[in-house]
Amino acid sequence: MLTLDKLINWRIDKKPPLMTKKFTFESYEQTRSFVNDLADLSEKTGYYPNLTFSQSQATVSIFTDEEELSANDFEFAYQTDKIADLYSEEMKSLS
C-alpha cells in the first residue's frame, strides 16, 4: 500500500480535496515529453489530472469530487513522480 511518505513535495489540501506539484525541466523538449508520458498514463489508467505547462515547467493537479483524496489519487501522484524521475536521471546522465 502506498504511504504519504513516498510522495515528495506534493501540496495537499483538504478543502477542496486537491494535490498539486510543480515539476521543472531543463528544456521544452523534456517538459513536452513529460506531459506526453503523463497523457499516456492517463489513457492507460482512465485518470485525468489538470495539467498546465510552460517552456520548462509542468504543474499537475489531482482533484476529486469526493470528500477526500483516495488511494487512487495518491497512486496516480506516485506514478507521476516515477515518470518525472526518468527525466531527472536523464539530466544526471547528461552532466
Q: Is residue 7 part of a domain?
A: no
The helix/strand/coil state of 36 is: helix
Band the pLDDT of 89: cuts 50, 70, 90: low
Q: Is residue 79 part of a domain?
A: yes
pTM higher than 0.85, yes or no? yes
The pLDDT value recorded for residue 7 is 87
The pLDDT value recorded for residue 93 is 46
Q: Is residue 8 part of a domain?
A: no
Q: Is residue 55 part of a domain?
A: yes
- Write out the residue range of the structural domain in which residue 59 sits: 28-94
Q: Is residue 5 part of a domain?
A: no
Looking at residue 35, which CATH number applies to its domain? 3.30.1360
Structure-model confidence comparison of residues 21 and 4, the more confident one: 21
The pLDDT value recorded for residue 4 is 65
Q: How many domains does the chain have?
A: 1
Q: Is residue 3 part of a domain?
A: no
Q: Is residue 46 part of a domain?
A: yes
Band the pLDDT of 95: cuts 50, 70, 90: very low
Q: Is residue 68 part of a domain?
A: yes
For residue range 8-67, list pLDDT tens digits in order. 899 999 889 999 999 999 999 999 999 999 999 999 999 999 999 999 999 999 999 899
How far is the C-alpha of 50 from the C-alpha of 32, rounded, in Å? 15
Q: Per-residue pLDDT for 75 more than 70?
A: yes
How far is the C-alpha of 52 from the C-alpha of 47, rounded, in Å? 16
